[in-house]
Chains A and B, each alone.
Chain A
Amino acid sequence: MAELTDLSLLEAAGALRAGAISSTELTRACLDRIEAIDGDVSAFLTVTEDLAMAQAEAADQQLRTRSDTPRPFVLGIPIAIKDVLCVEGVPTTCGSKILEGFRPPYTATSVTRLVEAGAVILGMANTDEFAMGSSTENSGYGVSHNPWNLARVPGGSSGGSAAAVAARMCFAALGTDTGGSVRQPAAFCGVSGLKTSYGRVSRYGLIAYGSSLDTVGGMARNVADLAPIFSLMAGHDPLDSTSVADAVPEIHLNGADLSKLRIGVPKEYFIEGLQPEVETAVRAAIEAFREMGAAVREISLPHTDLALPVYYIIAPAEASANLARYDGVRYGPRLGPGLYPEDYFVTRGELFGAEVKRRIMLGTYALSAGYYDAYYGQAQKVRTLIKGDFEAAFQEVDLIACPVTPTTAFGIGAHGDDPLSMYLEDVFTLPANLAGIPGLSFPVGFDSEGLPIGMQFMAPHLGEAQLFSAAHAYQAATSWHTGWPEL
């Protein structure tokens, strides 16, 4: 057998069920690999070794006990959690100094559902501070590196999660996606990443950034590995008022009839600035679907170019309110001269990083007296138009195919101190968040420097099942997802 960490999630699950390996061995192998290579990658902010080994032993106990009911695929499988999802008793920081030392007394519903099914938590993965960023350079605890090229960013904000999966330190990782934060790092790191429909997975315990856009998602080495993660996390949660009551569909990976699939290719996503190798790879993948029987046609999402400005008003506005609670009163450090309200200013001024402060300022401005209608109010109306584009398109097609990112992973520091140019990295991923629809990013090639290229499928709200079957059919016929970086 190859290295344990080279197995896919489903292969490892099979070996566990067959009794060929134990969760303790599997978990130990992951911890050893983290120990060996995470010094270079910096995917993890916290490694929960004791918790992981205890959970692995409990899983082994369960695996040894006879059971008539089918065991969850994640039973005994080591995974990583993006450090914005609360895990009881484990430092949860959002990559921010303002939450240093915070150990939540509760666990996010999405995590609880995986843990209850027997998943093993290896630790908390690095993120841009409060999930604000596209490179993981904005973390208050250091930059993560792309396992394919350590001088490149892993993307963000779930960069730690994507890097950990790509570097085979874990079998899957949870991420969150507010404007592309699962799909973009998945594309940069050559893994498969799912952004769920808004309302599909509970946000309880997900530390909020942009509440009307935030979603929990997952990353794994291939689409099939993602399916059990999704199936477990999804479903109604009474603790989240925006959690939908709809039944979670069964995911059928095999036997998809692609001849009935209608794929739309939005012309607005193939624009100037799109790296030619990315366009070539994405068009080739779309061609492969046509060859497999899908009907492909060009469509138009006319308000696409407005998604970026809408997002960068709405998300910061919500963030400015969501991040008001970090005041050094109930949790986190408090700085300042010991005076009110000076301590508020110093604590927040010193402990938030530059990008967070920028977005709080932007959001505060967009909501302030005299500017609300021009900015926030108008952005909400244009959001309606963007959502309408998708609703119209999905009358004609089942899935929308497009690039995830304009380029492959850029160099660490490449965007310097130019936030607007960094924001432009998100143009292809933001619209799905504004519309609340699901998206799946999966590898479709490499550029000349050997960096992964991703393609994205978007589906109607709650249409995850369709994403899975189409992307799995592609992975069954291709091998872009099977390689991994040498580390």
Chain B
Amino acid sequence: MTRFEPVIGLEVHAELLTQSKMFCGCAVVDPTFAEPNSSVCEICTGMPGTLPVINQRAVEFALRVALALNCSIAETSVFARKNYFYPDLPKGFQISQYDLPLATNGWIEIQDASGAPSTKRVRIRRVHLEEDTGKLLHHEQHSLVDYNRSGVPLLEIVSEPDLLSVYQARQYSLALRSLLRYLEVNSGDLQKGVLRFEANVSVRPTGSEELGTRTEIKNLNSFRALSRAVEYEIDRQTALLRSGKPVVQNTVGWDEGRQVTVPQRSKEEAHDYRYLPEPDLPPLHVEAAWVDRVRAALPELPAAKRSRFMTEYGLSAYAAGVLTADRPVADYYEAAVESAVESENETLPLKIANWLSSDLFGLLNEADIEIDQSNVTSEALVRLVSMVENGRISAASGKTVLEVLFKEGGSPESIVEERGLAQLEDQASIRPIVDQVLSDNPDQLAEYLAGKAALSEWFLGQIMRATQGKADPAAARAELDAALLDLDEIQSSR
């Protein structure tokens, strides 16, 4: 049977975090809180006689992204009118860029398969600026239009069809989100619709160089929808080709409820956007000096940070990936490592990484907050990890301390002090507890002495429980073994 492989290209629309809109001075507002039509003016509602003026910061943000994506920046780019009618589009055209976009020919590196250390370069075809549309709210008999979002700067990032699996499509979109957040141009908050995806999907016989007929999936607003929709479309197209039927080029939508793609219109019905150069905006010239300034001010990007974390701190590719996906997390981690620099313990960066990515992340997720909103300072985390590492408290106590820190803040040392969590290390303090446990459980002791050696593990558990985890496990084991040996000898000597 012929094997098929998918070929996927993604178009990502990212709203830019400017103060004001793309072409007017209205504030960019959070759609969750703003009253409808509260941040609009004659320009962004397309009233007659109004004209656009480009927001400098929107261009600057676009340059940041384009440079971070290794694109060539066009010295001259041109805005165009994309004509179509829809009630959320106030001018009857969208100002976008068409044949002369701001940036072209870039690339981004992504992980190419789950767990694989190798990376893959995905080519970026173009990056251009445009304006967002308003929003429609549908009711039974009518629809309502809110133009708050109309005119918000939007960056469109178009990849080449280089993605060869759902996994890669997902990695690519995650990598872009991470990049946009690093560059502080987009919040990455998908629930608020600030990042939206469209996928071009086709399948072809594995090994073939030609592209199959593609479909375009519109309006994908979450990573989950993106993965599911692409997967669905790959399966659907593969099944068609297997049964000898052709794939029809068309645009499809993703039905979240039914988890299927739904045809919207075929190639013949495709919109004729009748692009023309926007006569109200002269060409946009971007001077080389400006590009240089933006380039020089770029932060260290996720990929570079990831490899640095691996070499500098000895992290695994996975751990480095987790800690660099978000810039605040990476900054937090580096601050922690920085404050641990005096430690002799060379594995501390690794231990901090574990505590951060498993324990603290768990608490953050549970509380649904970001790392910079947490009570646990990077310095406190380091002191906590150090206490566990030098045996002052047990790992279990460490988790307790972290929970208290997370809830109430404060210093890890005083929490250990207040709650008496310091580890019982000296044999003198452990021995009485061992003796107590043995005398409290005569039946088990008798069985042990009769030859059931496995019960020593059970006794150890009882000792740890009796000390509420404070006993140093190695010290407890030594004391228990010594006590049992004593009893054994007594019995034998009888």
Contact = CB atoms under 8 A, between A and B. Distances in A.
Taking the complex as a whole, does A directly touch B, i.e. does some CB pair lie under 8 Å apart?
A: yes
A204 B51 CA distance: 6
Contact of A206 (B49, B85, B87, B91): B49
Interface of B: 42, 45-54, 81, 83, 85, 87, 90-93, 143, 145, 272, 274-276, 279-282
Classify the interface of chain B: helix, strand, loop or mixed: loop
A94 interface: yes
A207 B274 CA distance: 21
Output the residue of A320, A325, A340, A369 with the most chain B CB within 10 A. Answer: A325
B51 A367 contact: no
A344 B92 CA distance: 11
Contacts of B279: 210-212, 242, 318
Interface in A321-374: 321, 323-327, 329-331, 340-341, 344, 364, 367-369, 372
Given A86-B48, A204-B50, 8 more contacts: A105-B47, A106-B42, A205-B50, A241-B282, A321-B274, A327-B85, A329-B90, A331-B47
Contacts of A4: none
A242 B280 contact: yes
Contacts of B51: 203-204, 239-242
Given A325-B91, A330-B90, A94 B85 contact: no
Output the residue of A241, A323, A364 with the most chain B CB within 10 A. Answer: A241
Interface string A371-383: 0100010000000
B45 A324 contact: no
B50 A321 contact: no
B278 to A, nearest CB: 8
A368 B280 contact: no
A410 interface: no
A368 B93 CA distance: 14
29 contacts: A92-B48, A102-B48, A106-B49, A203-B51, A203-B280, A206-B49, A207-B49, A239-B51, A239-B53, A241-B52, A241-B54, A241-B281, A241-B282, A242-B279, A321-B93, A324-B85, A325-B48, A325-B91, A327-B87, A329-B87, A329-B145, A330-B45, A330-B90, A331-B48, A344-B85, A364-B274, A368-B274, A369-B272, A372-B275
A99 interface: yes
Contacts of A86: 48-49
Nearest to A243: B51
B47 A367 contact: no
A208 interface: yes
Interface string A26-60: 00000000000000000000000000000000000
A104 interface: yes
Contacts of A104: 42, 47-49
A317 interface: yes
Contacts of A99: 48
Contacts of B276: 317-318, 321, 367, 376
Contact of B48 (A207, A340, A341): A207
B85 A341 contact: yes
B36 to A, nearest CB: 14
A108 interface: yes
A94 B47 CA distance: 13
Given A239-B53, A242-B280, A325 B274 contact: no
B272 A368 contact: yes
B81 A321 contact: yes
Contacts of A106: 42, 47, 49-50
Contact of A324 (B52, B91, B280, B281): B91
A101 B46 CA distance: 17
A148 B81 CA distance: 44
Interface in A187-229: 203-208, 210-212
Given A367-B83, A369-B272, A330 B46 contact: yes
Interface of A: 85-86, 92, 94, 99, 102, 104-106, 108, 203-208, 210-212, 238-242, 317-318, 320-321, 323-327, 329-331, 340-341, 344, 364, 367-369, 372, 376
Output the residue of A318, A320, A321 with the most chain B CB within 10 A. Answer: A321
B272 A242 contact: no
A455 B193 CA distance: 59
Nearest to B79: A241
B282 A327 contact: no
A376 B277 CA distance: 11
Contacts of A239: 51, 53
Given A211-B279, A242-B282, A321 B52 contact: no
A205 B54 contact: no
Contacts of A242: 51, 279-282
Contacts of A94: 48
A239 B47 CA distance: 14
Contacts of A330: 45-47, 90
A133 to B, nearest CB: 18
A105 B54 CA distance: 22
Contacts of A240: 51, 53, 280
A416 to B, nearest CB: 30
A284 B54 CA distance: 50
B184 to A, nearest CB: 27
A238 B281 CA distance: 12
A324 B83 contact: yes
B89 to A, nearest CB: 9
A329 B85 CA distance: 11
Nearest to A331: B47
A204 B87 CA distance: 24
Contacts of A323: 92
B93 to A, nearest CB: 5
Contacts of B87: 327, 329, 340
B428 to A, nearest CB: 82
A208 B50 CA distance: 8
A328 B93 CA distance: 15
Contacts of A340: 87, 143
B83 A321 contact: yes
Contacts of A331: 47-48
A325 B46 contact: yes
A239 B45 CA distance: 16
A83 to B, nearest CB: 11
Nearest to B280: A211
Nearest to B278: A211
Contacts of A344: 85
Contacts of B274: 320-321, 364, 367-369, 372
Contacts of A85: 49
A106 B24 CA distance: 14
A339 to B, nearest CB: 10
Output the residue of B48, B92, B282 with the most chain A CB within 10 A. Answer: B48
Contacts of B282: 241-242
